[in-house]
Amino acid sequence: MSPAETPEVPQAPDVASRRAESGFGLVTVVGTGLIGASVGLALRAAGVPVALEDPSPTAVTLAADLGAGRLARPDDRPDVVVVAAPPDVTARVVGDALRRHPGATVTDVASVKRAVEAEVVAAADDPARYVGSHPMAGRERSGAIAARSDLFAGRPWVVVAHEASDPGRVAQVERLAALTGAAVARMASAEHDAAVAAVSHVPQVAASLVAARLRDLPADSVALAGQGLRDVTRIAASDPALWTQILVGNASAVRTVLADLAADLGEVVAALADVGDDPDAPAPGARRVLASAIAHGNAGHARIPGKHGAGPTTYGTVTVLMPDRPGHLALLFDHVGAAGVNVEDVRIEHEVGRAVGVVEIAVLPAAVDPLRAALRAQGWTVRD
Amino acid sequence: MSPAETPEVPQAPDVASRRAESGFGLVTVVGTGLIGASVGLALRAAGVPVALEDPSPTAVTLAADLGAGRLARPDDRPDVVVVAAPPDVTARVVGDALRRHPGATVTDVASVKRAVEAEVVAAADDPARYVGSHPMAGRERSGAIAARSDLFAGRPWVVVAHEASDPGRVAQVERLAALTGAAVARMASAEHDAAVAAVSHVPQVAASLVAARLRDLPADSVALAGQGLRDVTRIAASDPALWTQILVGNASAVRTVLADLAADLGEVVAALADVGDDPDAPAPGARRVLASAIAHGNAGHARIPGKHGAGPTTYGTVTVLMPDRPGHLALLFDHVGAAGVNVEDVRIEHEVGRAVGVVEIAVLPAAVDPLRAALRAQGWTVRD
């Protein structure tokens, strides 16, 4: 079996069939960084003609050379203009696009929606043609050179209509988002901004603040770090410039959630102070506050959806000890596959001080016992 | 090749050779829950005679049946007593062990050290025989039934001598910890408690507080959750009763770190308030505060050690799109192994709304390009 023979492996989409149903004569993308160029590549792959604009001639030529579309021409009459400019100039560029293309639907891809919407609606003569949107995709690298046609595949793309948005144009933006392979959702701008504050911006701030506490810790102490700390702080490696712009752009919604979090944190700190120096006799209520903080975390965590957008699923874990060398992981998954078990997730634990890996394989609960037995039969060391 | 033929696959240790060098006549374990029973199993595997005590006859019999040691006898004269009682009774049980076994070294395994040490030193006639310790291992399940002989393999085991601890007895506890396969470290109790506050207890509180903010979010909003939120909140699923005891036991050190974190958070909230409703013209200094918060997180994150206790290593990532079905992961790792590349870490991203997996394979930077080429040659869809 070769993966190339397997139709489910993502391939370039069927261009002919998508062109027939795309229904877009021309889409103009303004701003050819990572997101704009990826939109161009995705739409081109779906058979949509794409024109490209960018203040930088170098950037727009690179994006065109990469296949994201052709250079825009003064007589272009796009059906849709996608503004993929930096957040702090998005509203101005949207307004400009509405004026320059009087028939076009104009959307944008900024990660914060309320401020852009307010500025566009206040300034535009014809705001009905504006429909905001936010494709929730990105990567560590930036610029057109990092763009790819599948950047949005399977990712949420939130379409954010305002009160005066024309319903037909909203549907048009939703069709465009769907053509990129994204999972289209619809939200009001305030709801969107509150959502990304809670699920993205506040977790970023928390991870950064926890990681910052490690700066002055002795090296011997940092060496006690385990997988929990690694997970909590992974995104603390994010870019300060980018995140400053995001936090500034969504300041109000982020502040609301962070203020609630700060109040909860204040209660925990006060409860710890109440414990005092005698852990055997904490002040009444201190234990209750601490237990509630952890229990509320349980409840919130349980709401996070699992794989494939389905509700949260609890998987069972099969844990295997293995030497940390080329080939053994392949052998392991060979045996897992031979057992007919689908792997839902994999985690390799990093053990300190020895070249042994601990591989945790998440599978459906019913598959746990059969998989353990099958792997043991193959000679693997499997933990109970 | 079968994994059973590979000597590096962890096996039952060579009992004979370890017995010869163990140098322990008898070790008594008091408390046969997960940690105590695992200590017994690990020491038995190293050829050390082990006696078991527990207030619960059922628990101690189960641990003995599982092979963690024999039941303790009134005339036992252990070299070392390991107290593995709940944190809130540890000091009392240590004092009792010092009295009952006048020649023995007594250690404990509580996850918080300063309070236990203070209470033992204040109460004991002969505190020189007490040496605290903390094996940093655990699992989701509790009780002797979940115990295993390799629980401590490769994990840090911190030995915490106090000012009056006898140096020979400190070395004895270090030898005992090393026999379980742990990576032995030495710290003072205050240093230990401050370290675990920063690398374990504070991350737990932060994860729980971030997750708690999701409780009242609309389901559509929670559905926008990405991998970042999943990582930050994974440990928010932890047990409230256990964590209440841990936080109470280390209240002072946790409060110190959390208070610093709360101050940083207060600055971020204030900066967001300064931004006001016009993201284009934030108050002077607001952007600097936000950028510093993220940059300080970068600096702290960079200090976390990588795999195998080495300094932090930056790995390259090879990203592969694949169908989410049995066998394909095995095929992928088969091809990775054939390319002679060692896998440092694996992450399977959960894409919303479609049965396609994105597999991120972390490898040494020099292996990234060769691996990409090798996988493409096999027909895989590899992202740049």
Q: Which residue has the tokens 């990093």?
A: A350
Query: For A178, which residue in chain B has the nearest alpha carbon?
Result: B353
Q: How far is B312 from chain A (nearest CA, A)?
A: 10
Q: Which residues of A touch B326 (CB under 8 A)?
A: 336-337, 340-343
Residue finishing a domain among A186, A216, A237 = A186
CB distance A341–B353 less than 8 Å? no
Q: Which residues of B touch A153 (CB under 8 A)?
A: 351, 354, 356
Regarding whether A338 and A292 lie in a shared domain, the answer is no
Q: Which residues of A touch B297 (CB under 8 A)?
A: 207-212, 233, 236-238
Q: List A residues 140-159 in contact with B (Cβ-Cβ < 8 A).
A: 146, 148, 150, 153-156, 158
Regarding whether A230 and A99 lie in a shared domain, the answer is no
Regarding whether B163 and B28 lie in a shared domain, the answer is yes
Question: Residue B140: pLDDT above 60?
Answer: no
Asked whether the beta carbons of A356 and B8 are under 8 A apart, the reply is yes
**What's the rounded mean pLDDT across residues A75-97?**
94
Query: For B263, which residue in chain A has the nearest alpha carbon?
Result: A262
pLDDT (0 to 100) of residue B349: 61
pLDDT one-digit tens code per residue, B215-224: 999 999 999 9
Regarding whether B143 and B40 lie in a shared domain, the answer is yes
**What's the rounded mean pLDDT across residues A133-140?**
80
pLDDT (0 to 100) of residue B370: 86
pLDDT (0 to 100) of residue B323: 67
Nearest Cβ partner of A293 from B11, B205, B265? B205
Question: Residue B327: pLDDT above 70?
Answer: no
**What's the rounded mean pLDDT across residues B113-140?**
90
Please report the number of interchain residue pairs, chain A to chain B, with beta-carbon separation below 8 angstroms: 556
Q: Give domain status of residue A31, yes or no.
A: yes
Domain hosting residue A215, numbered range: 194-301
**How many independent structural domains does chain A possess?**
3
Question: Residue A353: pLDDT above 60?
Answer: no
Over its C-alpha atoms, chain B yields an Rg (Å, rounded) of: 25
pLDDT (0 to 100) of residue B238: 86
**What's the rounded mean pLDDT across residues A17-23?**
56
Q: Give domain status of residue A2, yes or no.
A: no
Say yes or no: B122 contacts chain A, CB-CB below 8 A.
Answer: no
Q: List A residues 240-259 in contact with B (Cβ-Cβ < 8 A).
A: 240-241, 243-244, 247-249, 251-252, 254-255, 257-259
Is the C-alpha dihedral spanning B90, B95, B97, B103 positive or negative? Answer: positive
Q: List B residues 10-29 in contact with A (Cβ-Cβ < 8 A).
A: 10-11
N-terminal to C-terminal alpha carbon distance within chain A: 33
Regarding whether A30 and A143 lie in a shared domain, the answer is yes
pLDDT one-digit tens code per residue, B151-201: 998 889 999 999 999 999 999 999 999 999 999 999 999 999 999 999 999
Regarding whether A292 and A327 lie in a shared domain, the answer is no
User: Which of residues B309 and B261 earns the better pLDDT score?
Assistant: B261
Say yes or no: B360 contacts chain A, CB-CB below 8 A.
Answer: no
Regarding whether A181 and A151 lie in a shared domain, the answer is yes
Question: Residue A7: pLDDT above 50?
Answer: no
At A343, which CATH number?
3.30.2130.10
Regarding whether B291 and B224 lie in a shared domain, the answer is yes
Geometric angle at alpha carbon B176, from B175 and B181, rounded to 5° = 90
Q: List A residues 364-383 in contact with B (Cβ-Cβ < 8 A).
A: 378-381, 383
Residue finishing a domain among B235, B266, B301 = B301
Smallest Cα–Cα separation from A327: which of B187, B333, B281? B333
pLDDT (0 to 100) of residue B239: 84
pLDDT one-digit tens code per residue, B346-384: 777 644 444 456 788 888 777 888 889 889 888 888 877
Query: For B195, which residue in chain A has the nearest alpha carbon?
Result: A221
Per-range mean pLDDT, top range of A136-140, A227-231, B215-219, B261-265: B261-265
**Beta-strand runs (E) in A127-229:** 132-135, 156-160, 183-186
Q: With pLDDT > 90 as the criterion, what percentage of chain A qualifies?
A: 57
Question: Residue B283: pLDDT above 50?
Answer: yes
Regarding whether B220 and B168 lie in a shared domain, the answer is no
CB distance A203–B302 less than 8 Å? no
pLDDT (0 to 100) of residue A9: 35
Regarding whether B69 and B130 lie in a shared domain, the answer is yes
Regarding whether B369 and B285 lie in a shared domain, the answer is no
Range list of H helices, chain B:
15-22, 34-45, 57-65, 90-100, 114-123, 167-179, 189-196, 202-212, 219-222, 227-233, 240-249, 251-275, 286-301, 328-338, 368-377
pLDDT band at B141 (very low <50, low <70, confident <90, very high): low
pLDDT band at A278 (very low <50, low <70, confident <90, very high): low
pLDDT band at A10 (very low <50, low <70, confident <90, very high): very low
Residue of B8, B248, B255, B376 for testing the chain A interface, max A β-carbons within 10 Å:
B248
Q: Give domain status of residue A205, yes or no.
A: yes
Regarding whether B320 and B258 lie in a shared domain, the answer is no
Q: Give domain status of residue B311, yes or no.
A: no
pLDDT (0 to 100) of residue A378: 85
Question: Residue B10: pLDDT above 70?
Answer: no
Query: For A324, which residue in chain B has the nearest alpha carbon?
Result: B342
pLDDT (0 to 100) of residue A208: 97
Task: Please give the mean pLDDT across all residues of chain A.
Answer: 85
pLDDT (0 to 100) of residue B378: 85
Task: Please give the mean pLDDT across all residues of chain B.
Answer: 85
**What's the rounded mean pLDDT across residues B16-22?**
51
Asked whether the beta carbons of B254 and A272 are under 8 A apart, the reply is yes
pLDDT (0 to 100) of residue A172: 97
At B252, which CATH number?
1.10.3660.10
User: Which of residues A46 and B328 earns the better pLDDT score?
Assistant: A46
pLDDT (0 to 100) of residue B330: 73
ipTM of this complex:
0.75
Q: Give domain status of residue B1, yes or no.
A: no
Residue finishing a domain among A134, A151, A186 = A186
pLDDT band at B5 (very low <50, low <70, confident <90, very high): very low
Asked whether the beta carbons of A97 and A120 are under 8 A apart, the reply is no
Q: Give domain status of residue B286, yes or no.
A: yes
Q: Give domain status of residue B175, yes or no.
A: yes
Number of CB atoms found within 10 A of residue B187's CB: 23
Q: Which residues of A touch B115 (CB under 8 A)?
A: 277, 279
CB distance B333–A332 less than 8 Å? yes
Question: Residue B95: pLDDT above 90?
Answer: yes
**What's the rounded mean pLDDT across residues A112-140?**
90
At B137, which CATH number?
3.40.50.720
pLDDT band at A345 (very low <50, low <70, confident <90, very high): confident
Task: Label residue B9 left, alpha or beta by phi (over 0 means left) and psi (-120 to 50 means alpha).
Answer: beta
Question: Residue A361: pLDDT above 70?
Answer: yes
pLDDT (0 to 100) of residue B307: 46
Q: Give domain status of residue B274, yes or no.
A: yes
Q: Which residues of A touch B183 (CB under 8 A)?
A: 352-354
Q: Which has the minimum average pLDDT: A228-232, A355-359, B78-82?
A: A355-359
Question: Residue B28: pLDDT above 60?
Answer: yes
User: Which of residues A196 and B325 earns the better pLDDT score?
Assistant: A196
